[in-house]
Amino acid sequence: MSGSTNGPAAGSAAGPEPVGEPVTEVTELTELIEVTEVTEAGSAPAGPGRGAATDPLTGPAAAPPARPMNVCVFLSAADLPERYTAPAREFAELLGKGGHTLVWGGSEAGLMKVVADGVRAAGGRLVGVSVEFLHHKARPDADEMVVTADLAARKAELLRRADAVVVMVGGMGTLDEATEILELKKHGLHAKPVVLLNSAGFYDGLLEQFRRMDADGFLPLPLAELVYFADDGADAMAYLQEHV
């Protein structure tokens, strides 16, 4: 009679399977249970091709809405060509669609009207800050209209009500507003994002001047922390949504 221990004798009932195989099966089952539990708890990291959590009844979870912003816009009251109005209109529509509020000089003329019309048509709010000697030009359907005694008080009120500032194309008044806002930020008197909407390269010269100020040590903080030059309305809005 053979004394071999290599396996059961021919024709005999099968003996127990090798010891190592059940351990493999138990290990695989344990890993499957752990993965299932993590996935059901919602803490498993998204893998390739895996999207946001999906509710079997309502479908994919919606992204949380952006926080409404009060955006102060400094800009011209002059009638301007399309190369300047198109980027301004684009930004206004994005502002309104996002449920944000336009805080502006309150005028019903020129580029100010274009932007206010765009925000209003897209569902946004209008808060105007006018000044005594111009209040007769104030937009009548604004959700709120404030009238200040002078231009200095007007600028202060516009900044106070804003979460961020956008400077569009304009003349001496707009340039005055932009430089004061940047001067206040330079001294740490506010930390609100400031964007210059560089429509049709309007502010290319100013950007070059700022770069020289930065390179030659005239700015106490990096230019990138002081102001952002946006190429178009969508670029301006994306920057605000990231920094407000």
Q: Cβ distance 85 to 111 under 8 Å?
A: yes
CATH class of 70-242: alpha beta
Residue 129: CA count within 13 A, CB half-sphere: 23
| Domains of the chain by residue range | 70-242
pLDDT in tens, the chain (244 residues): 444 434 444 444 444 444 444 444 444 434 443 434 433 444 444 443 344 444 545 455 544 556 899 999 999 999 999 999 999 999 999 999 999 999 999 999 999 999 999 999 999 999 999 999 998 989 999 999 999 999 999 999 999 999 999 999 999 999 999 999 999 999 999 999 999 999 999 999 999 999 999 999 999 999 999 999 999 999 999 999 999 9
Q: 198 with 169: CB under 8 angstroms?
A: no
